[in-house]
Amino acid sequence: MGSIVRRKRRLKLAVTATLTSCVLYIVVQASFQIFDRHEIHFSDDWIPRRNIKQFGNIHLENKTFAFMIPQTYVKRRNRMIDSCVSLPPKPSMYGEELFRQHLLVDRGRHLVFCGIEKVGLTFWRRFFSILNDAHKSSPFDIRAFDAYIPGTVDTMYNKTMREYNHVMTSSLSVMFSRDPFERIFSAYVDKFVSPNINFWIDKGTGIIRKYRKFPEFSSLRCGNDVTFAEFVKYVVNHAHGQEKVDSHFVTITEHCRPCHIRYDVIGKMATFYNDTMFLIRTVGHTKMRDKLQDQFIDAYVRDQFSHSVDLLFFYKRDLVDRHKCVPSFHTAQQRMWRALQLRGLISLETKYPIKRSERDDISKDQLLQVLFNSLKDRVPRVHKKDAMFEAYASVDFVDLHKLRDVFRSDCDLFDYDCSPSSIFNQSIPRKYPDRFFNFE
């Protein structure tokens, strides 16, 4: 009789435990349903990401966060993880040192960010440098040049493996992606259209020497007239280890190692404002949020103008006097103007208004005012795209397909079209881009 009672008690306990487990399972599943289906709603009582283990209600692997991540970012992350499964193994040419130098860290806010050239890196370095600066409320309060002063931003460089693992497992990890064809075009405009004498001589001379059949002496000496088609050849060979590694042209997949780190939040250049504001709210920086939410675009454009003028005057002596790589300072000004047009910041229909006789004596403040005055002219969005399509129309189809193969992993992981019809349409004749790339 006693054994029967004991068996009944054991059975009752087992049933109770099973029911409890089922209830817990349903509750946990319900919490993940909330995570998957609901976009976040910001409010003034936003919880800063401190003591994240204490307040967390959302789990990504072994992490716990104090907020719900919007469905947009969940989908992007799931896309990345799913694509990583089918990504073939490939030896990386991007060393551990460079990789860690690009991992920006704010330990107090439990934040890690993978910075990538031509994916807003300068902005993000400034963002991290002011997170704990009570006197600044916007990344644009810092000059672009100053973002690269050693010690301005904490990175994973020189961290021990123990520190690295601790930071990566206790922080929100973030990265941004960009359409690879847009990123390569942006790099060309920034480095070879703009009057960037250091890049011309360091990279341009070698590109012309290797990829141009009958280069002129001035081109070999200065590297100031690299064509987009030559640049694409360089990028393709760079990816195959035939050129010295330059992080401007490394794929995002190699840059950030997303299949290894599995970033929690993936922003995109196409949605830069929304993704940036999400991150600002996430770290609880209300001053930055208030400063940028109404002035972001205007602040960005003015910052680009200021940096372009700073760069132009910084290189003035080397461009005109030392290397004599442009006929005169006014030619350098025209190159700067055209680069800003190709970035979509000045209308391509707006001609540079300063007379030739006035250009050599123009001051920084005067040139800035000329740029600010150009803001009154509407900039058709189609111009920037047209310029990019014209550049790609000058590239041989064989090289286009090679370029596509180089960036295939970026397309797969971050959901970009790797064969856009506007670029791969074989009915478009291959020709020199003379409409937007005539710098005179």
pLDDT digits (tens, 9 = 90+) for 402-428: 999 999 999 999 999 999 999 998 777
* Amino acid occupying residue 39: E
Backbone phi, psi, residue 266, to 5° = -120, 115
pLDDT digits (tens, 9 = 90+) for 164-192: 999 999 999 999 999 999 999 999 999 99
Cα 303 → chain centroid: 17
* pLDDT at 49 exceeding the cut of 70: no
pLDDT digits (tens, 9 = 90+) for 72-115: 999 999 999 999 999 887 767 778 888 999 999 999 999 999 99
* pLDDT at 16 exceeding the cut of 70: no
Q: CB–CB of 203/305 below 8 Å?
A: no
Total Cβ atoms within 10 A of residue 285: 20
Mean pLDDT lowest among 141-150, 321-330, 375-384: 375-384
Give the pLDDT band (50/70/90) at residue 60. low
CA 265-175-185 angle, to 5 degrees, is 130
User: Which residues in 254-374 belong to E strands, given as ranges?
Assistant: 265-268
The helix or strand, by DSSP H or E, that contains position 98, with its residue range, turns out to be helix 96-101
Q: CB–CB of 269/176 below 8 Å?
A: yes
Cα dihedral 303→309→310→316 (10° resolution)? 170
* Amino acid occupying residue 404: R
The overall average pLDDT reported for the chain is 83
**Nearest to 271, CA basis, from 98, 60, 414:** 414
Greater model confidence, 69 or 144: 144
* pLDDT at 55 exceeding the cut of 70: no
Model pTM score = 0.82
* pLDDT at 240 exceeding the cut of 60: yes
**Looking only at Cα atoms, what is the longest distance across the chain?**
113
pLDDT of residue 211: 96
CA-based end-to-end distance of the chain = 105
pLDDT digits (tens, 9 = 90+) for 178-228: 999 999 999 999 999 999 999 999 999 999 999 999 999 999 999 999 999
